[in-house]
Amino acid sequence: MKQLHIISFNYPYPPSYGGIIDVYYKIKAISDMGIKIHLHCFIDQIPSTIDREIKEITENVFFYKKKKNPLLYFSSTPFAAAIRKSEELIKNLDRNKAPILFEGLQTTQIIRFLRENDHKLYLRYHNNEKEYYKGLSGSENNLFKKIIYSIESLKYTGYQKKLLKKFDAVFCLSEKEYHEVESYSKNAHLIHIFHGNESVKELDQKGKYFLFHGDLTTADNKRALNETIGLFKTLPQYKLIVASDRASEDIKNKISAVENISLTPIQTRENLYRLLEGAHANILISYQNSGTKVKLFNTLYNSRFVIINGNITDDPVLTNLCLYGDDMSQIRQQIIISAEKDYDDNEKRKNILEASHSDKAKAEEIVKLIFKN
């Protein structure tokens, strides 16, 4: 029986945001192929129970508490990696010499403590962390956070270069990151996001509202929402629903001040799908160039029109399934255009998404690369 260690930066259930969605559905798809998964999770608090959905797709689950020492901000190692170091994890890995798949560079600090040649090492490259934190710094208004993110970006510059060559393969999410890694370490493979969608939903031609959804604690999403609110203030004839479980009082006040905009909680995946099914068009905007965002797949599989800017995806095939705007004036124009159009892209999306972006095909490629001997 083939076995695989997976080290996750967080507990991957419920799969409610980008990186964790990729982790959970990757585990599920690899497990469905008969691979025994030993899952290792770095978390803030060890849960009292393990969710049935995780038990069903793993052989073992191990938890390790993230370190809370603020002095680690002064370490030369990036803070997100420095807090994810565990002697117990190293012991658990040594008990079973299966290959190791690291979920993100933030889980990789323990590599230097592993015995040479005991394990084959693989990395899921979720982000170019240097660029990710640089983007966060650019979007952040809080001066302290802006400085912290900028320092973290500088730390990752050297950390990434030092580590990327150590892996037998690096599985990249996007074309941009694939080319970056391949030019440097020659071990890159393009494996798009695992998203959990199996079939494109059959929908009628008209929805009831425009939809913006996301985690409104991140600087990028907050900036995108502020721009979107500004647009819909000038488009009072159209209704916008903002869906999020994490909105500050400031954001709530901004939304309530505009008559045609409302805030609703997501709470469950089922509620998110219901909101997607009711939407005529979705507004997806980002100011971080970090590959295809997982929310794009959820909207393309489960909703109607999708209006994006250039940072939502660098995949031209996916871009062609969307309405595109270079800037907010073009996004505004696409809102007006989509409002007048009937949605009739079901068959086009089925032919493209179900053929080239299924989780099963991506899992098969990863398993083939890891267990090629």
Q: Is the pTM of this model over 0.95?
A: no
For residues 338-361, average pLDDT: 92
The number of angstroms, rounded, from the C-alpha of 188 to the middle of its chain's C-alpha atoms is 19
Distance CA 176, CA 313 (A): 10
* Confidence at residue 288, expressed as pLDDT on a 0 to 100 scale: 82
- CB-hemisphere CA count at 13 Å for 125? 33
Domains 3-194+359-370 and 209-354 alike in fold? yes
Kindly report, residue by residue over 285-310, the tens digit of the pLDDT. 998 876 788 889 999 999 999 999 99
CATH node for 209-354: 3.40.50.2000
Q: Fill in the amino acid letter for 254.
A: K
**Given the DSSP bridges, would you call strands 209-213 and 3-8 parallel, antiparallel or unpaired?**
unpaired
- pLDDT tens digits along 24-58: 999 999 999 999 999 999 999 999 999 999 999 99
- Which residues on neighbouring strands pair with residue 188, listed in sequence order? 170
First to last CA, the chain: 14
CATH value of 3-194+359-370 in 3.20.20.150, 3.30.70.270, 3.90.700.10, 3.40.50.2000:
3.40.50.2000
What pLDDT does 368 receive? Answer: 96
**165 three-state secondary structure:** coil
- Confidence at residue 320, expressed as pLDDT on a 0 to 100 scale: 95
Percent of the chain as helix, strand, coil, to the nearest 5 = 45, 15, 40
Res. 116 pLDDT band, cuts 50 70 90: low
Alpha carbons 357 and 29: distance in angstroms, whole number: 13
Examine the pLDDT at 336 and tell me if it is beyond 80: yes
> Average pLDDT of 133-149?
87
Q: How many CB atoms lie within 10 A of CB 66?
A: 17
| pLDDT 10s digits, 181-231 | 998 899 999 999 999 998 999 999 999 999 999 889 888 899 999 999 999
Structural domain boundaries of the chain? Answer: 3-194+359-370, 209-354
Distance CA 45, CA 330 (A): 45
